[in-house]
A and B are shown apart, each in its own frame.
Chain A
């Protein structure tokens, strides 16, 4: 009788250890892939408006297909984004919000463009984010050459294994 009890006790012990391990693993995975930023990115012209939301990198092109905005050369456009820090666990010290609008080779291009030249707009805001801390920007712009352009706003320095971004492609004729 006492031998059976010993086996049961050992089984219980093993079960408890496994459960603790699984819970720890799940918590680690949860914190590693926690959402840090809510992003809303908008481009608006005279006839069209496109909106994109938060995506994750890696992969660099994200998990979602980018929306495509259609416009004309020299048309007046407005870009706007809001980034809200939604991580309830940490304050992000000196986190950065980087955005750019630059030409790319084709619609759906996976690689990010070089920002060395022909950049239509670019900016970086560096601040401490607490939970529900926000950064936003609204900017008017025109594009003088036809082509495909990538508008992207992304987090930098999240101190995590991934960053958040939102992107829209502009097809300018």
Chain B
């Protein structure tokens, strides 16, 4: 018994006056000159989309910092595009020697991704001038306060602290909270910082 030859069910069927049926992908790619280009474009688009999703957004992890004393309160928060190459100067908080100060910080994640073993590092350290670009020296005699925690952050998780301290030497200080270990997934290391001028 001879086997019937299999007909091309797609385009050939249409030519014969029958209702066109969906052709196979392979057959379409053979016949359609646009198929290859369209496929590659979609592939590139999907790859970019996946890459962006994987990269995450700066807003996915936020850091806020608030410094208060007798003279008032100064608050700052992380924002996209702030890395070491800042567009804006850091806000300046003015304080007196031995004034009672309170530093409050908060780090929180809104990302669907889990950030494991994030190191939240906070410090108040002497710097040479206001709005200094280089990170300050963290030698013990130049650091008034330093703190660190390790934690896993998933969506909705946060850590926060309230710390009182005094600075007994006049000068310029950098007050900074930074989250280390999330930069692999985000475009920049999230941080919030301000300068403190002590007279």
Contacts and interface: CB of A to CB of B under 8 A. Distances in A.
The binding surface of chain A is classed by DSSP as strand
Given A125-B161, A126-B159, A138 B145 contact: yes
A170 B65 CA distance: 31
B96 to A, nearest CB: 15
A125 B166 contact: no
Contact of B166 (A124, A130, A138, A141): A141
B150 interface: yes
A172 B188 CA distance: 46
Contact of B144 (A124, A126, A127, A140): A140
A123 B168 contact: no
B130 interface: no
Given A123-B162, A123-B163, A128-B159, A140 B168 contact: yes
Contacts of A141: 165-166
B150 A133 contact: yes
Interface residues of B, number: 21
A130 B159 CA distance: 13
Nearest to A135: B149
A6 interface: no
Given A121-B164, A125-B159, A127-B159, A138 B152 contact: no
B160 A128 contact: no
Contact of A130 (B152, B160, B161, B168): B152
B170 to A, nearest CB: 15
Nearest to B154: A128
B159 A139 contact: no
A38 to B, nearest CB: 14
A136 B151 contact: no
Contact of B151 (A123, A133, A138): A133
B160 A126 contact: yes
Contacts of B160: 125-127
Contact of A127 (B140, B146, B149): B149
A134 B164 contact: no
Contacts of A124: 161-162
B53 interface: no
B8 interface: no
Contact of A140 (B143, B149, B162, B163): B143
Contacts of B168: 76, 140, 142
A137 interface: yes
Given A119-B164, A139-B165, A140-B168, A125 B140 contact: no
Interface of B: 140, 143-152, 157, 159-166, 168
